[in-house]
Homo-oligomer: A and B are copies of this chain.
Amino acid sequence: MKTFWLNWVRVAAVASIAVSWTAPGFAQEPLPSWNDTAPKRAIVAFVERVTNQVSPDFVPPAERIATFDNDGTLWAEQPIYFQLVFALDRVKALAPEHPEWQDKEPFTSLLKGDLKGALAGGEPAIFQIMTVTHSGMTTDQFEKIVSDWVATARHPKSGKLYTEMVYQPMLELLAYLRANGFKTYIVSGGDVEFMRVWTEQAYGILPEQLVGSTIKTQFELRDSTPVLMRLPEVDFIDDKVGKPVGIHKFIGRRPLLAFGNSDGDQQMLQWTAAGRGLRFMGLVHHTDAEREWAYDRQSHIGQLDKALDEANARDWTVVNMKSDWKTLFPPAAGR
């Protein structure tokens, strides 16, 4: 995962932004949190065409595969990818067992709260952080660790659980697609085992419908009990050119609809667009500095530059978060 995590190194400043949340309505129409603008119309028109049995664009349900990037597409990704927050939190949690970290970078800086200093070590520093936090345990142990973190960790700006920072309009889109016979998949650069723990509850996406980056695991018998050990070794990076590879390997069908938000999704959208017949390619454009964050071409997180040019040139759907979405996040449960 060294390559994938490289751009985390470039993360420096933490954005300080006032985020406000708006509760969605309970309309019966599809996509109630979407304004009645071009993206919503394009989505509804597309779904109606591919599901209408007398339409020349009809697609049988088995072929209705929809793939979604996760970070920045289904949930927020600022000021740093949430999986990196998890890793940093784990370093703090593990510190008492590692007195040697007091004098060993990147841990020394991290434990002082100096993220920038820690990441100054570049790729090897990131790799060390990811290795100690993501490997060396069984898959069951890792699941428990992620599960505990997801249940308690809160975003520094919003104070919400991370799983409350999922985009309400995208939840509605997932539900709308499933109601129309689509199978919804995540295709993310994130660690597939990190995501699996919470995506069913957060998105209604089943564990077997995740494509993501993987580290190697090894089957071992411990006192006759089989376990899978997570090894400090990259298996597959599901980002950029890796996304079509991952889709083909895990799903074996080309998506009918694909949604992303960054240049890391460009090849997934190209792969989708190259399929026969009608296809839908969408990008979430983070334009909403007031309710969330505004970033694109210059951002170190979720950079959207080349993919935006291609989307504009090829008339793919670009969601302007500020003007196309009525609300961003679901109401916090019971708070």
Contacts and interface: CB of A to CB of B under 8 A. Distances in A.
A252 B219 contact: no
A69 to B, nearest CB: 16
Interface in A44-70: 62, 65
A279 to B, nearest CB: 12
A196 B244 contact: no
A219 B207 contact: no
Interface residues of A, number: 36
B252 A221 contact: no
A244 B226 contact: yes
A248 interface: yes
A208 interface: yes
Nearest to A196: B252
A234 interface: no
Interface in A246-265: 248-253
A267 B219 contact: yes
Contacts of A245: 217-219, 228
B249 A206 contact: no
A214 interface: yes
Nearest to A65: B208
A87 interface: no
A74 to B, nearest CB: 17
A7 to B, nearest CB: 19
A192 B235 CA distance: 17
B228 A139 contact: no
A178 B48 CA distance: 29
Contacts of A236: 235
A219 B241 contact: yes
Contact of A226 (B217, B251, B270): B270
A179 B51 CA distance: 25
Contacts of A65: 208
Interface of A: 62, 65, 139, 183, 192-193, 196, 200, 206-208, 210, 214, 217-219, 221, 225-226, 228, 235-236, 241-242, 244-245, 248-253, 267, 270-271, 274
19 contacts: A62-B206, A65-B208, A139-B248, A196-B252, A207-B253, A208-B250, A208-B252, A210-B252, A217-B249, A218-B245, A221-B270, A225-B274, A226-B267, A226-B270, A226-B271, A226-B274, A228-B244, A228-B248, A250-B250
